[in-house]
Structure 1
Amino acid sequence: MESAGSSVMFAGKKLKVREVDNFDFSQVRLVFFAASPAVSRSFAPKAIAAGCAVIDLSGALDGATALVPEANGERITELAQPALITSPSAGAVALAVALAPLKGLLDIERVQVNACLAVSEQGREAVSELARQTAELLNARPLEPRFFDRQVAFNLLPQSAVW
């Protein structure tokens, strides 16, 4: 993994980031996957098999329960153990938090939302693609999309599903 060997601060302590390949998941009870979808798909099943609760931020895991603590956090007690939880997209979290106070007060049947989401939600490779496309367009060079199937630089794209 790219981060292995680097350090992060947690609770005022500097911690070294280790490779996940040989990690013994039986030594922990909760695992956060804040990595690429490929990493989550590869290692979350191992963590669950070891009895860990898993919180995945990639959105790549089928069968994960989407939780927003401010909106439906009470559902955590209903989950099978070990639990597999995903964090919805930033737009979905914002909507859930905004609607949560209305729960029980109104019978909401439908919500229609137009959201402008950041390319960065798709990860580092997406941000690199945006930077490359921007440089190519500003230098009047032809554009060949690689990560995305179309131009994202200087663009708003209609999208109703995951890229």
Structure 2
Amino acid sequence: MKTIPVDKNPHEAVISPDGKQAYVTCSGGDSLLVFDNETMTLTKRVTHPDFRFPHGLAITRDGKRLLLASTRSGKFFVISLPSLEVKQVCATGQEAVHMVALTPDERFAYIANNKTNDISVIDVATLKEVERIDVGIHPDGIAFLMR
């Protein structure tokens, strides 16, 4: 067990497929933090002008891309791993882009839009919205169940 000082409001976390890194959004710190799980150390702090209340995260099975939803900017990001280079910034046209989940086949990203009460379905290959699904009030968490 170890305590590591971080930016304000660490919120969501995903673990790399190999288990070696943890990626954590710090909503109040407008940052993405990367931790080495073996040494339990903070290895990198990533910022971007449009990381405004970064929130949801999803990582591809091959560990090469990280998707990040930024609540206050209304954008989501495609971040290359392990370089942590922001490859693409995509505006959803929605308010409060909150959580993100990849479909099991990783063809689509579903993004919960907290203020507009809907889900944006993004084609991962083109990074274009292909559908918007109305849901209940303030959608938050999102996940897929394999059957």
Task: Indicate the TM-score class for this superposition, using the shorter chain for normalisation.
Answer: under 0.3
Q: Give the number of the structure whose alpha-carbon radius of gyration is greater.
A: 1
Judging by fraction of residues, say which structure has more helix.
1
- Give the number of the structure whose residues are more often strand, by fraction: 2
